[in-house]
Structure 1
Amino acid sequence: MAKEKGRKLIAQNKKARHDYLILDTYEAGLVLTGTEVKSLRQGRASLVDGFVQIDDGEAWLYNVHVPEYSQGTWTNHAARRKRKLLLHRAEIDKLYGKAQETGHTVVPLSLYFKDGRAKVEIALAKGKKEYDKRQALREKQDRREAARAIAAARRRQRA
């Protein structure tokens, strides 16, 4: 059986990009059980309530929902258990120092397979205020309207 290559996205946390200002991103490995890997290969996971906490010099991923494997037996995993993240010591120390600052947190952005290994993209983030969120939505809507207007003008030119 050939080893799979490339990046296969499993889950994304779009809400995190809306609720937080992303300052820095990291790629981390995950310590998983066999049934968790099989469940992820089926493309089932949710990062919505997930967050990263650093305890005793180790990074842990909390509240990420990986549903139980449908063909699993009594060896199945708990859906919302804490999972250890594999990061370099310098990265953990940097994240810990920055996360201690007021308003900063570490959130998961995406969960994917990279060359057959489960990885999670985590980000050092700062919470946005309500008016920042509205401003970001307004900018997104303005870009979309501008793109529509350009496309309509091009269609009129061709006709």
Structure 2
Amino acid sequence: MKRIVKISNLLSNTINKLIEVLVVLLALILSFFMVLSVFYRYILNNSIYYSSELCRFLLVYITFLGSTVAYKHKAHIGVDVFVEYLPLKGKRFIELLIELSFLSFMVLLFVVSLKFLPMMWLQRTATLQLPYAYIFLIVPVSSAIFSIHIINRLVEIISQWSG
């Protein structure tokens, strides 16, 4: 069991580090284009026609990927008022139930988003003329990343029960 926990932690932590770096890079690119857009609009009296659309799509990617990082660090808001009054076994059971529910939702989201993906290749964005699939890809990608982190957490919960 310790080997499974170690492999699960290594995979989840490695993916999380890569996503953290990617989110920072995307945030820097977003900031650059926002500042550049303001400069062009108010100093040069011109505008970068694709800037707002690009920034919007970057923000979508940052949000979806950033939420996986927040989950990994247990930084999402949670209501644990009732769970705190439960005995240790009750807390672990509720935690297991929550993680299994979340994993079920992420797997469902992954499957459904893959079904919508072919349609997204046919639609184009307004100014960049990119297929919407490039933007929509973040849904199955982030749900897969979430699933990896959830499985890691489930392995940790089960290992605490067995050892």
Structure 2 length as normaliser, TM-score? 0.19
Q: Is the helix fraction higher in 1 or 2? A: 2
